[in-house]
Amino acid sequence: MKWLYIISIVAVILVITVLALNINRKKQQLRLHEALDNISKLKSSLNNHTLAESSENSPKDIAKETTTESLRNRLRDELLGMYNNNNERVEISSAILQSEAYKELQSYVTTGKIIPLDSQLWGLLESAVIESSPKFKYNLQLLTGGNLSTQDYRLALLIKCGVTPTQMISLLGRTKGTVSYRREALCYKVFDQKLGTKVIDGIIRLL
């Protein structure tokens, strides 16, 4: 009876675990569908072809995508297509430019100071970016498959705020090689291949 009791408990735990994993997978798929819809709207705002103008991007086709990985691949392809079709550099949002966080950031850039890891500026920059692009972090997490580290996110925040690689060297207190490596690593997390630092910079500015 004791062993039967133990086996029953283990079986219940396994069932609960499987159900929880399935629920999480479904949630992530719904988030990816939502992200794709947001990307299509962004494409329209940038005067590229809209979702309705392309049969490969039709709502019916998106609905056919059932796996998390296939949805993530579609999201990446949409963004990469936008990047390739958008020759002009995306301007920094006015919400960011007019924020106190951006002004403080420029002060650090001008003086060549390092932003401490525990600085409140990171939180302020995040708030300014989220005000400009509410789904910014959300989409980055989807693109990296949930493998977005604090270091990656802060690097993305700086890119979104228009900080150049040269300025990042002083702001992060890292060498040129290290900054370049971090950008390339983030690009690999998003696309699972090396596409160059300029590509990931452009993608982040589009988000």
The per-residue DSSP string of 50-70 comes to -GGG-GGG-HHHHHH--SHHH
> Could you give the CA distance from residue 143 to residue 128 in angstroms, rounded to a whole number?
21
Asked if residue 188 lies in contact with residue 194, where contact means CB atoms within 8 angstroms, the answer is yes
Task: Spell out a b/e string for 27-55, using b for 16 or more CB atoms within 10 Å of the CB, else e.
Answer: ebbebbbebbebbbebbeeeebeebeeee
Q: Which two tokens stand for residue 65?
A: 């995508």
Whether the full predicted model's pTM is greater than 0.75, yes or no, is no
16 Cα distance to chain centroid = 31
* pLDDT by 10s per residue, the chain, length 207: 777 778 878 777 887 877 766 676 666 555 655 555 555 544 454 444 333 333 344 444 444 445 667 777 888 888 888 888 875 677 888 999 999 999 999 999 999 999 999 999 999 999 999 999 998 988 888 888 888 899 999 999 999 999 999 999 999 999 999 999 999 999 999 888 888 888 899 889 888
Asked if residue 165 lies in contact with residue 159, where contact means CB atoms within 8 angstroms, the answer is no
- In this prediction, residue 26 carries a pLDDT of 63
> Could you give the CA distance from residue 99 to residue 129 in angstroms, rounded to a whole number?
9
> Could you give the CA distance from residue 77 to residue 175 in angstroms, rounded to a whole number?
32
- In this prediction, residue 158 carries a pLDDT of 96
Domain definitions of the chain by residue range? 2-85, 94-206
- In this prediction, residue 76 carries a pLDDT of 83
Q: Which two tokens stand for residue 46?
A: 């940038």
Q: What is the dihedral of CA 147, 153, 159, 164, to 10 degrees?
A: -100
- In this prediction, residue 109 carries a pLDDT of 94
